Structure 1
Amino acid sequence: MSAQSLTLPRWMDLVLLPLWNLVVALGVAALVVLAIHQSPAQTFSVLVEGALGSGRGLGYTLYYTTTFIFTGLAVAVAFHGGLFNIGGEGQATFGGLGVALLALWLSPTLPAAVMLPLLVLGAALFGAAWAAVPAYLQAWRGSHIVITTIMFNFLATSLNVYLLVNWLRPAGSMSPESLEFADSARMPALHALAAKVGLEWPSSPVNLSLVLSLLACVFVWWFLWKSRAGYRLRAVGSAPEAAHYAGIRPRLQVLVAMGVSGALAGLMAINEISGVQGKLTLDFVAGAGFTGIAVSLMGRNHPVGIVMASLLFGVLYQGGVEVSFEVPGFSREMVVTVQGLIVLFAGAMAMVSAPLFARIYAAFKRKEAQHG
Structure 2
Amino acid sequence: MSNRMINLLVPAIAVILGLLVGAIVMLVSGYDPVAGYIALWQGIFGDSYAIGETIRQITPYILAGLAVAFAFRTGLFNIGVEGQLIVGWFAAVYVGAAFDLPKVIHLPLSILAGAAAGALWAFLPGLLKAKMKIHEVIVTIMMNYIALHVVNALIKTWSGGGDKTDRILESASLRSEFLSSLTDYSRLHYGILVALLMVVVMWFILEKTTTGFELKAVGFNEHASEYAGMKIGKNIILSMVISGAFAGLAGAMEGLGTFGNMYTRGGFTGIGFDGIAVALLGANTPLGVIFGAVLFGSLKYGALNMPNAAQIPEEVVQIVIALVIFFVACGYAIRLFLTKISKKKEAK
**Do both proteins adopt the same fold according to a TM-score greater than 0.5, normalized to the shorter chain?**
yes
- Structure 1 residues 86 and 148 mapped into 2: Cα distance closer, same or farther (>3 Å)? same
- Which amino acid is 1:356 matched to? F
Q: 1:79 aligns with which of 72, 76, 85?
A: 72
Report the Cα distance in structure 2 between the residues aligned to 1:123 and 1:51, rounded to whole angstroms.
29
Tell me what 1:136 maps to: 127
Q: 1:318 aligns with which of 266, 280, 301?
A: 301
Q: C-alpha offsets along residues 31-77 of structure 1, whole Å, 9 cap, x if unaligned?
A: 11111122222111110111112111111111111111010100000
Q: Structure 2: where are the runs of 5+ without partners?
A: none
Q: C-alpha offsets along residues 81-129 of structure 1, whole Å, 9 cap, x if unaligned?
A: 11111001110111112212212321x2x12111111112111111101
Q: 1:115 aligns with which of 68, 90, 106?
A: 106
- Which amino acid is 1:185 matched to? A
Q: Larger Rg: 1 or 2?
A: 1
Q: 1:225 aligns with which of 201, 207, 212?
A: 207
User: How far 1:364 moved relative to its partner?
Assistant: 4.2
Confirm whether residue 69 of structure 1 aligns to residue 62 of structure 2: yes
Tell me what 1:176 maps to: 163
Report the Cα distance in structure 2 between the residues aligned to 1:232 and 1:366, rounded to whole angstroms.
39
Report the Cα distance in structure 2 between the residues aligned to 1:142 and 1:194, rounded to whole angstroms.
47
Q: 2:237 aligns with which of 249, 255, 260?
A: 255
Tell me what 2:331 maps to: 350
- Structure 1 residues 304 and 11 mapped into 2: Cα distance closer, same or farther (>3 Å)? farther
TM-score, with structure 1 as normaliser = 0.89
Tell me what 1:210 maps to: 192
Confirm whether residue 42 of structure 1 aligns to residue 25 of structure 2: no
CA contact (8 A) 1:8 1:358 kept: no
Confirm whether residue 124 of structure 1 aligns to residue 115 of structure 2: yes
- Which of structure 1's runs of 4+ aligned residues deviate more than 6 A? none
Coordinate RMSD, CA, aligned: 1.7
Paired residues in the alignment total: 347
Tell me what 1:193 maps to: 178
Report the Cα distance in structure 1 between the residues aligned to 2:234 and 2:345, rounded to whole angstroms.
43
Q: Structure 1: where are the runs of 5+ without partners?
A: 1-6, 368-372
Q: C-alpha offsets along residues 210-255 of structure 1, whole Å, 9 cap, x if unaligned?
A: 0000001111111112211111111111111111111111111111
Tell me what 2:343 maps to: 362
Percent identity of paired positions between Structure 1 and Structure 2 = 31
- Structure 1 residues 365 and 116 mapped into 2: Cα distance closer, same or farther (>3 Å)? farther
CA contact (8 A) 1:134 1:149 kept: yes
Tell me what 1:156 maps to: 147
Report the Cα distance in structure 1 between the residues aligned to 2:154 and 2:43, rounded to whole angstroms.
38
Tell me what 1:3 maps to: none
3-state SS, counterpart of residue 82 of structure 1:
coil
Tell me what 1:25 maps to: 18
- Structure 1 residues 26 and 178 mapped into 2: Cα distance closer, same or farther (>3 Å)? same
CA contact (8 A) 1:269 1:285 kept: no
Q: C-alpha offsets along residues 304-349 of structure 1, whole Å, 9 cap, x if unaligned?
A: 1111111111111111100011112x11111111111111112x21
CA contact (8 A) 2:65 2:279 kept: yes
- Structure 1 residues 233 and 10 mapped into 2: Cα distance closer, same or farther (>3 Å)? farther
Q: 1:57 aligns with which of 28, 36, 50?
A: 50
User: How far 1:366 moved relative to its partner?
Assistant: 4.4
- Structure 1 residues 121 and 321 mapped into 2: Cα distance closer, same or farther (>3 Å)? same
Report the Cα distance in structure 2 between the residues aligned to 1:19 and 1:336, rounded to whole angstroms.
20
- Which amino acid is 2:167 matched to? E
User: How far 1:362 moved relative to its partner?
Assistant: 2.6
CA contact (8 A) 1:52 1:315 kept: no
Confirm whether residue 293 of structure 1 aligns to residue 254 of structure 2: no
